Amino acid sequence: MNPTSAPTTPDPSLAGFLIAHELARPGESARWTPLAGGVSSDLWRVDLPGRSLCVKRALARLRVAAEWEAPISRNAYEWAWMRFASRHRPANVPELLAHDPEAGLFAMAYLPPDRYPMWKAQLLGGEVAVATAAAVGEVLGTLHAASAGDAAIAAEFATDDNFHALRIEPYLLATAAAHPDLDDVLQGLADRTGTTHLALVHGDVSPKNILVGPAGPVLLDAECAWYGDPAFDLAFCVNHLLLKSLVVPGRRGELLRSARVLAAEYLRCVDWEPRSAIEERAATLLPALLLARLDGKSPVEYLTDDRHRLFVRTVASALLRAPAPATADVLDAWASALDAPAGTGSCRPD
């Protein structure tokens, strides 16, 4: 939760929201500072006398180059996901304070970056703790296990349309449009993912949405919450660790170990289906998501080197054409490509 610019005075209705929910008193001074809220929401730190909190409001049009719109109702599902997670892992989500579903906004505790650094910033800065990845895998697996087979949760999070707009279309289908030779494979993955309903999915388990707190990882930004395929969350997070292994080469070994340990700790929690089944779905989704972070609607900002981009496209395309049966096999293929000797026809990035 890091400031991005000088304090501003936002929409007056936001101050009214705080007063209506008794989080602020009429006439009380309030300092609003925009935070790095990603592409899909406005996020503010609000400093009041003796206390601070965070306010989040969903955007109807996301801040990306491609046209990408999504319903603000996702804010209500994020709030509901946070409430679910707080019942099972209260130390791993922010404290919730108030919610206005019609306005698409809520308030939660502000977590200062000196005590809750962003995992993405740590990783890109070369601070790679394998134990953090293990904890993320365990928290994620525990939450999936707590929701698996729960008909009430499935009904509450029947958000197929939201998930399609926020994940299936901008990631899998947009990438299929950019790679016509892989259209059948990517369309098949999109269809399979969209029709698999097994557990409550966060939908954006990315290092930018994970804070490393004193009591373990804190998960943020559950706007894509959906009762669907838990393999998506596993593949989505491992994907980021692989991509970062290209741009933090001095910690490449630790990043690849982090990916393996995260997957292993997650799989230890799987009791709702055979582990081989979810491993196969995650393993086939992983290369699609690797490719999507280059050629979908939400490309990662740090892959600017043409060698890195060629490497991702080459390895991911090969894995989509010849699917691996388990996440460990995908990690082995990635590591082997990284280690391939120069001059052997490989696409080694350095």
> Domains of the chain by range and CATH?
1-110 (3.30.200.20), 112-350 (3.90.1200.10)
Least confident of 48-57, 182-191, 317-326: 48-57
The pLDDT-based confidence of 66 (bands split at 50, 70, 90) is: very low
The residue assigned the tokens 């999070």 is 157
By mean pLDDT, which of 107-111, 314-318, 343-347 is the weakest? Answer: 343-347
Question: What's the mean pLDDT when you consider all of the chain?
Answer: 91
Q: Find the DSSP H helices in the chain.
A: 12-20, 74-88, 119-124, 130-147, 151-156, 160-163, 174-178, 183-194, 231-247, 252-268, 275-295, 306-321, 327-339
Give the pLDDT score at 169. 96
pLDDT of 6 strictly over 60: no
pLDDT of residue 189: 98
pLDDT, residue 74, reads 73
Start-end of H helices in 148-274: 151-156, 160-163, 174-178, 183-194, 231-247, 252-268
Question: For position 60, what pLDDT does the model report?
Answer: 60
pLDDT at 342: 60
CA pair distance 14, 251, nearest whole angstrom: 43
Helix residue ranges, H only, 174-230: 174-178, 183-194
Residue 87: other Cβ atoms inside 10 A: 10
Confidence of residue 34 (pLDDT cuts 50, 70, 90): confident
What number of helices (H) and strands (E) belong to the chain? 13, 9
Mean pLDDT of the 271-293 span: 98
CB 72 within 8 A of CB 60: yes
pLDDT value for 65: 43
pLDDT above 90 (res 64): no
pLDDT value at residue 76: 87
3-state secondary structure of 166: helix
In percent, the amount of the chain with pLDDT more than 70 equals 89
Share of the chain above pLDDT 90, in %: 78
* Residue 15 Ramachandran class (φ > 0 left, ψ -120 to 50 alpha, else beta): alpha
**Taking 80 as the threshold, does the pLDDT of residue 200 lie above it?**
yes
User: For residue 10, what pLDDT is reported?
Assistant: 67
Residues 6+ apart with CB under 8 A from 191: none
287-299, pLDDT tens digit by residue?
999 999 999 998 9
127 confidence band (pLDDT: 50, 70, 90): very high
Euclidean distance between CA atoms 214 and 117, whole angstroms: 10
Q: For residues 319-336, give the mean pLDDT.
A: 97
pLDDT tens digits, one per residue of 204-242 = 999 999 999 999 999 999 989 999 999 999 999 999 999
Please say if the pLDDT value at position 38 is more than 60.
no
Please tell me the predicted confidence (pLDDT) of residue 346: 55
